[in-house]
Structure 1
Amino acid sequence: MQPTTSRRVALASDHAGVALKDALRDAVTALGHTALDLGTHGDASVDYPDFGDKLARAVLAGEAELGVLVCGTGIGISIAANRHKGIRAALCHDTTSARLSRQHNDANVLALGARMIGIEVAKDCLAAFLATEFEGGRHAGRVNKLG
């Protein structure tokens, strides 16, 4: 799955997700996109809401078109990002959920759990997410209701 256009993709994680975030950052570049790494960069304990918020603000400000968030489960950091109007962060565990999150929900942030998913599956989810466009049509009205 190769997209037709290059995108700027922001990535952020807490301490539990650093290794996966770093691997996904490299995968973003390998797929022909530009990666914006918003941290964290080490294993010192940090608070996932801070990094979910940081990425959400970057996407909303136009610093990146799409985002990727990683924490231990992906749950907390996706909740933090989804508190921002205009962010649609989807916690995905496989390529089908990643693809459908873009097609049907116009998700602009992919959330993954570093303790829940293997690195190769995570990379496959990322590739599917970046290669898929929103279908619009019958889904557009539903997405508009999300705010």
Structure 2
Amino acid sequence: MKIGIGADHNGYELKEQIKKFIQETMNQEVVDYGCHSCDTIDYPDVAFKVSKAITDGELERGILICGTGLGVAIAANKYPGIRAATCHDTYSAERAQLSNNAQIIAMGSQIIGVEVGKKVVEAYLNVSWAEGSKRKVDKITEKEKEFTGIDFSGSTPKCS
């Protein structure tokens, strides 16, 4: 699985630990979309890069981190075809994928620590959408199609 990861300056240190965990423990490929230091950056820029890579089919999943996880999730969800969920526990991380087919999870570095973050990521990456709530996800996709004119009903949305 190819996973994109990104953070603002508040999430930089947690991002580095999560990236290492995914690569070394879970043996998955990770593409780092920044930031690359503790220098201040705006979280929407990173969230949009990861979201675009997912809609372009370059990534299968994404992980975004800021101070609370809320800002990056809001920004990612503005990108057509993206479903991002803020998760700070393993149950929500599993449900983000199993029930909602979320391509991205968001976490807050000021909310959770490294070890909980690792468990959240592991729970999210170890499950696949079984279309359990397909009817509900389809309603979201249909509303998005109504607003954008773009059909995101496939497993990987494509934007022009």
Instruction: Assess same fold via TM > 0.5.
Output: yes
5+ long unaligned stretches in structure 1:
1-6
Alignment of 1:2-13 (within 5 A): 7-13=1-7
1:143 aligns with 2:137: yes
Partner of 1:49: 44
Distance 1:62 1:26 in 2: 23
Which runs of structure 1 show a deviation greater than 6 angstroms over 4 or more consecutive aligned residues? none
Q: Which residue of 121, 126, 134 maps to 2:129?
A: 134
Q: Which residue of 20, 33, 38 maps to 1:26?
A: 20
- Secondary structure at the residue paired with 2:101? coil
Distance 1:57 1:145 in 2: 22
Distance 1:145 1:51 in 2: 28
1:112 aligns with 2:107: yes
TM-score by length of 1: 0.93
Distance 1:71 1:114 in 2: 6
Partner of 2:87: 92
Return the index of the structure with the highest Cα Rg. Answer: 2
Q: Give the Å deviation of 1:23.
A: 0.7
Distance 1:99 1:69 in 2: 16
Q: Give the Å deviation of 1:135.
A: 2.0
TM-score by length of 2: 0.85
Q: Which residue of 72, 76, 79 maps to 2:74?
A: 79
Alignment size in residue pairs: 140
1:68 aligns with 2:47: no
1:38 aligns with 2:6: no
Q: Which amino acid in structure 2 is aligned with residue 91 of structure 1? A: T
Partner of 1:124: 119
1:112-140 CA-to-partner distances (Å, cap 9, x unmatched) read 00000111111000000000111214x11
Q: Which amino acid in structure 2 is aligned with residue 18 of structure 1? A: Y
RMSD: 0.8
Q: Which residue of 15, 20, 25 maps to 2:9?
A: 15
Q: Percent identity?
A: 38
Q: Give the Å deviation of 1:74.
A: 0.5
